[in-house]
């Protein structure tokens, strides 16, 4: 596949993986391998809440030989997210941070005012920020103008598996922000959703629940990797335009037949 960039790093595989909610560490390891993911998210907050499992988890991550993308999952304010990002940078030794500032407990919709404020602080502090955001063009443009080279708009609320709630908005983001790395994050549930996101112009997708909670997470990871490839190739191929009326695929002009009464 054609490589894509996340700040100063280049990746071949356009599927990023979360590392939470898997049935076991062994299945997580197999899923990451099957997905071909080169970048996986980690949550310092989740590990702090379960310290007895932290050491085996870090050992597993080292064995996977992948880049780590710490996140600020669970944060509700810009100050909280900024502090957690600094702790994550020190622990994981990376400037990458997936910024999450949640504004609603039911939908887990990001608070875009707080997200934008925190993104500016983090960028000024030397972070490479990947903000989890809505698909609102104005806020996404503001994030880019602040210095974000990557944006991560949601497809649907986190963990719902509903697929893309508003394909038009994602297509618009791609058209209006053509030079930004666009990673669809949240709400995708199956390979067809992944393909659709890629066909709309996403550079990559980030999945967690869709794979971790599948009946067979390893098979689902493999399927979603193939779905990113299919969607990207389909987009690059230039699909035909949809039409309102039927148009025969086999021409009839010049056929050696004549209608008789």
- Inside any domain, residue 260: no
A 10 A CB-CB count for 56 gives 10
User: Is 186 annotated among the ligand-binding residues?
Assistant: yes
- Hunting for tokens 């990023």 — which residue is that? 16
Strand partners, 97: 129
Reported for 79-82, long-range contacts at CB under 8 A and 24+ positions apart, including other chains, are 81/114, 81/118, 82/118, 82/121, 82/122, 82/125
Is the model's pLDDT at 152 over the cut of 60?
yes
CB 5 within 8 Å of CB 181? yes
| Helices 167-176 and 137-146, packing angle to 10 deg | 30
pTM attached to this predicted model: 0.89
User: Is 34 annotated among the ligand-binding residues?
Assistant: no
User: Is 159 annotated among the ligand-binding residues?
Assistant: yes
User: What is the domain count for the chain?
Assistant: 1
- Inside any domain, residue 92: yes
Q: How confident is the model at residue 251 (pLDDT cuts 50, 70, 90)?
A: low
- Inside any domain, residue 11: yes
Q: Average pLDDT, stretch 247-253? A: 69
User: Is 187 annotated among the ligand-binding residues?
Assistant: yes
Pairwise CA distance, residues 164 & 29, whole Å: 28
CATH number at residue 59: 3.20.20.70
pLDDT digits (tens, 9 = 90+) for 165-210: 999 999 999 999 999 999 999 999 999 999 999 999 999 999 999 9
Is the model's pLDDT at 56 over the cut of 70?
yes
Is the model's pLDDT at 48 over the cut of 70?
no
Distance of CA 114 to CAs 28, 77, 79, 100, 179, Å?
A: 32, 6, 9, 9, 24
- Inside any domain, residue 68: yes
212-234 burial, b for 16+ CB within 10 Å, e for fewer? bebeebbebbbbbbebbbbbbee
Q: How confident is the model at residue 68 (pLDDT cuts 50, 70, 90)?
A: very high
Q: Average pLDDT, stretch 147-164? A: 94
Pairwise CA distance, residues 119 & 113, whole Å: 10
Q: Average pLDDT, stretch 231-251? A: 82
Is the model's pLDDT at 240 over the cut of 90?
no
Range of the domain at 34: 4-216
Q: Average pLDDT, stretch 31-36? A: 94
Is the model's pLDDT at 45 over the cut of 80?
no
List active site positions: 98
- Inside any domain, residue 236: no
What does DSSP assign to residue 110? Answer: B
- Inside any domain, residue 235: no
Instruction: Count CA atoms closer than 13 A to 62's CA, side-chain side.
Output: 7
Pairwise CA distance, residues 88 & 42, whole Å: 9
- Inside any domain, residue 259: no
Q: What is the dihedral of CA 150, 156, 157, 161, to 10 degrees?
A: -120
Q: How confident is the model at residue 46 (pLDDT cuts 50, 70, 90)?
A: low
- Inside any domain, residue 261: no
A 10 A CB-CB count for 113 gives 12
- Hunting for tokens 């690059």 — which residue is that? 236
Is the model's pLDDT at 125 over the cut of 60?
yes
- Cβ-Cβ contacts under 8 Å for 222 (sequence gap 6 or more): 34, 35
Which of 15-24, 137-146, 249-258 has the highest average model confidence (pLDDT)?
A: 137-146
User: Is 250 annotated among the ligand-binding residues?
Assistant: no
């Amino acid at each position: 596949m054609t490589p894509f960039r996340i700040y100063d790093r280049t990746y071949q595989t356009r599927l990023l993986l979360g590392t939470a909610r898997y049935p076991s560490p062994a299945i997580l390891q197999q899923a990451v391998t099957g997905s071909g993911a080169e970048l996986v998210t980690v949550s310092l907050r989740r590990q702090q809440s379960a310290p007895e499992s932290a050491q085996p988890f870090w050992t597993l991550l080292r064995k996977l030989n992948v880049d780590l993308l710490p996140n600020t999952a669970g944060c509700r304010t810009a100050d909280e997210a900024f502090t957690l990002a600094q702790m994550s940078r020190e622990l994981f030794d990376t400037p990458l941070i997936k910024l999450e500032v949640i504004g609603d407990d039911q939908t887990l919709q990001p608070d875009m005012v707080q997200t934008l404020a925190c993104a500016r602080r983090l960028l000024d502090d030397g972070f490479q920020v990947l903000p989890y955001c809505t698909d609102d063009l104005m806020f996404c443009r503001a994030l880019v103008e602040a210095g974000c080279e990557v944006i991560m708009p949601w497809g649907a609320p986190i963990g719902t598996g509903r697929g893309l709630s508003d394909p038009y908005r994602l297509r618009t983001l791609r058209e209006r922000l053509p030079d930004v790395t666009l990673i669809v994050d949240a709400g995708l549930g199956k390979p067809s959703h992944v393909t659709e996101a890629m066909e709309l112009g996403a550079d990559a997708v980030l999945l967690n629940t869709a794979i971790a909670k599948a009946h067979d997470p390893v098979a689902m990871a493999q399927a979603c990797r193939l779905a990113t490839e299919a969607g990207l190739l389909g987009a690059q191929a230039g699909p035909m335009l949809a039409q309102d009326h039927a148009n025969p695929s086999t021409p009839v002009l010049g056929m050696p037949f004549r209608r008789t009464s």
